[in-house]
């Protein structure tokens, strides 16, 4: 397998026009796979290169990476900013509105990573992205479920069936651990330690971490494993959460399941998804007094930057709650009585009298 991969790389580089973007994208794919980069990371980089290539060809520009400079990248950025959502998508019809700032930022960061790789590999001698400033992604308020919404979502699950018990267990585990949906569906049977109440999770960048879970989730997991988990479809099926047929449960199916229960619970104004459960888990951790460093480890973030967002969101909840439940504001007190000296009373009476005289003089004018 390794020899075959090396032969593909050699044959790709041997042909003419080896610095063409599409050819380099394939070389990047093989190199990134050999370096252990995630499938999602490779996919976004390769897709971004293909979008850029299509733009350059449509405008009669060269697709040789050595001939692409700042002007072409800026032109592509403007093209993305005016591009309709799902334009030219093979399965989804175009939708109203243009690409979001977050999507554009993702494409350009992927291209910047590709150019950095090409520079490191010696395919180019200068990087146009060193002279460019990528438009920042807009900062959006992270949505999270209210306590009543979360309870309604969980209670909407009918646990009397095997499928319902599986769904209940998944939702409870997502709330308790803040796992990404890909991490949940990627759990293997050996990754779940019911005795120690821990999960071995493979996160972004193939990074392994240990995530604890609570007693309530432990009980749900025990019921699922002992009474409701179907037999795996094949001896090679090791995933923990399975369909009724014993096949591994896919991320899209989990998303559809949570959306279904959200509709059943009548939840409005917020997207019912695994990622919203992840945000909710993080905010609830902070609200309940958890520390940010443990939360960073549990969520699998490489830095505290994202965790600070959850802290700020939890803090805003505290401020809003104080405005509503302020002890002083909710006291039923009579207005304070201030003792006035005779000097203050005289000044007040004189001022009142003066204002009254002015009002009379104004009213008497023709």
Task: Indicate which residues carry an active-site annotation.
Answer: 180, 204, 275, 278, 301, 310
CB atoms within 10 A of CB 271: 12
The DSSP letter of residue 141 is P
Nearest to 221 by CA among 278, 165, 280: 165
The DSSP letter of residue 138 is P
Q: What is the C-alpha to C-alpha distance for residues 230 and 58, in angstroms, rounded to an integer? A: 52
Q: What is the C-alpha to C-alpha distance for residues 16 and 20, in angstroms, rounded to an integer? A: 9
Strands annotated E in the chain: 84-85, 95-98, 192-193, 198-202, 208-212
Q: Are strands 84-85 and 95-98 parallel, antiparallel or unpaired?
A: antiparallel
The DSSP letter of residue 270 is S
Which pair of structure tokens corresponds to residue 325?
Answer: 């439940």
CB atoms within 10 A of CB 71: 10
Q: What is the C-alpha to C-alpha distance for residues 18 and 123, in angstroms, rounded to an integer? A: 9
Q: How deeply is 134 buried, as exposed, middle or buried, from its count of CB atoms within 10 A (0-12, 13-18, 19+)?
A: middle
């Amino acid at each position: 397998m390794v020899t075959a991969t090396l032969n593909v790389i050699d044959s790709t580089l041997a042909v003419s026009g080896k610095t063409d973007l599409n050819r380099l994208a394939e070389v990047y794919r093989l190199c990134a796979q050999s370096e252990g980069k995630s499938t999602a990371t490779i996919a976004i980089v390769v897709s971004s290169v293909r979008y850029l290539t299509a733009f350059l060809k449509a405008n009669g520009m060269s697709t040789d990476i050595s001939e692409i400079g700042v002007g072409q990248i800026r032109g592509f950025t403007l093209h993305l900013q005016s591009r309709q959502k799902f334009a030219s998508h093979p399965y989804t019809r175009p939708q109203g509105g243009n690409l979001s700032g977050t999507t554009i930022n993702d494409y350009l960061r992927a291209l910047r990573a590709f150019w950095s790789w090409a520079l490191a590999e010696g395919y180019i001698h200068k990087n146009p992205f060193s002279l460019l400033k990528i438009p920042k992604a807009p900062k959006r308020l992270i949505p999270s479920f209210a306590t009543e919404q979360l309870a309604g979502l969980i209670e909407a699950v009918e646990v009397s069936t095997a499928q319902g018990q599986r769904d209940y267990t998944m939702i409870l585990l997502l709330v308790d651990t803040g796992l990404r949906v890909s991490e949940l569906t990627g759990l293997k049977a050996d990754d779940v330690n019911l005795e120690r109440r821990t999960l071995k999770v493979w996160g972004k960048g193939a990074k392994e971490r240990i995530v604890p879970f609570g007693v309530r989730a432990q009980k749900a997991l025990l019921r699922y494993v002992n009474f409701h988990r179907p037999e795996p479809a094949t001896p090679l099926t090791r995933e923990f959460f399975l369909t009724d047929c014993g096949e591994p449960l896919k991320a899209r199916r989990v998303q559809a399941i949570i959306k279904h229960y959200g509709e059943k619970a009548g939840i409005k104004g917020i997207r019912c998804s695994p990622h919203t459960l992840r945000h909710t888990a993080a905010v609830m951790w902070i609200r309940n007094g958890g520390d940010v460093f443990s939360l960073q480890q549990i969520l699998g973030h490489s830095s505290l930057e994202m965790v600070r967002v959850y802290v700020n969101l939890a803090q805003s909840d505290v401020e809003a709650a104080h405005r509503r439940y302020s002890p002083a504001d909710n006291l039923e007190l009579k207005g304070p009585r201030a003792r006035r000296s005779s000097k203050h009373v005289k000044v007040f009476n004189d001022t009142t009298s003066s204002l009254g005289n002015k009002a009379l003089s104004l009213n008497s004018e023709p």
